[in-house]
Copies of this chain bind each other. A is one copy, B any other.
Amino acid sequence: MINSMAANHAVWPKEDDAIFGLAAKAQEAIKKYGKENVIDSTLGALVDDNGDLVCFKTVYDELKSLPNAKIAAYALVAGQPEFLEAVQEACFREYRPDAYIKAVATPGGTGSARHAIYNYTNPGDTVLVSDWYWKPYATISEEYGRKVTFYKLFNDKNEFNIESFKENFETLLNKQKRLVAIINSPAHNPTGYSLSDEEWDQVIDIMKENAKNQENRIILFVDVAYIDFADNERRKFFKKFSNLPENILVIVGYSLSKGYTMYGMRQGAAIGISSNKEIAEEFYYSCAHSNRANWSNCNRGAMEVMARITKDPDKFKAYEEEKAKYRTMLKRRAEAFVKASEEVGLEILPYRDGFFISIPCSNAKEVSDKLMEENLFLIPLKLGLRFAVCAVPEDKCKIAPAMIKKAMDSIK
Asked if B13 and A285 make an inter-chain contact with CB atoms under 8 angstroms apart, the answer reads yes
- Interface segment out of the listed A72-80, A87-95, A352-360, A369-377: A72-80
- Interface segment out of the listed A103-111, A161-169, A316-324, A401-409: A103-111
A 39-54 contacts with B by CB, 8 A: 43, 45, 52-53
| Residue A390 at the chain B interface, CB threshold 8 Å | no
| Residue A160 at the chain B interface, CB threshold 8 Å | no
Copies of this protein chain in the complex: 2
* Residue among A12, A53, A108 with most chain B CB within 10 A: A12
Size of the chain A interface, CB-CB below 8 angstroms: 89
Name the contact of A71 in the complex, choosing from B13, B144, B257, B264 (C-beta under 8 A).
Answer: B264
* Contact A263-B139, Cβ < 8 Å, known A11-B282, A294-B111: no
Compute how far the CA of A177 lies from the CA of B252 in the bound complex, rounded to whole angstroms: 42
A 16-52 contacts with B by CB, 8 A: 16-17, 20, 43, 45, 52
- Cβ of A242: which chain B residues have Cβ within 8 Å of it? none
Asked if B5 and A266 make an inter-chain contact with CB atoms under 8 angstroms apart, the answer reads no
- Interface segment out of the listed A60-68, A182-190, A194-202, A327-335: A60-68
- Cβ of A108: which chain B residues have Cβ within 8 Å of it? 295-296
- Cβ of A136: which chain B residues have Cβ within 8 Å of it? 292-293, 296
Asked if B139 and A281 make an inter-chain contact with CB atoms under 8 angstroms apart, the answer reads no
Asked if A12 and B289 make an inter-chain contact with CB atoms under 8 angstroms apart, the answer reads yes
Interface string of A127-143 (1 = CB under 8 A from B): 00000000010011011
| Residue A1 at the chain B interface, CB threshold 8 Å | yes
| Residue A243 at the chain B interface, CB threshold 8 Å | no
8 extra interface residue pairs, beta carbon distance < 8 Å, beyond A52-B69, A136-B292: A2-B247, A20-B77, A53-B69, A72-B262, A114-B294, A140-B294, A264-B297, A264-B301
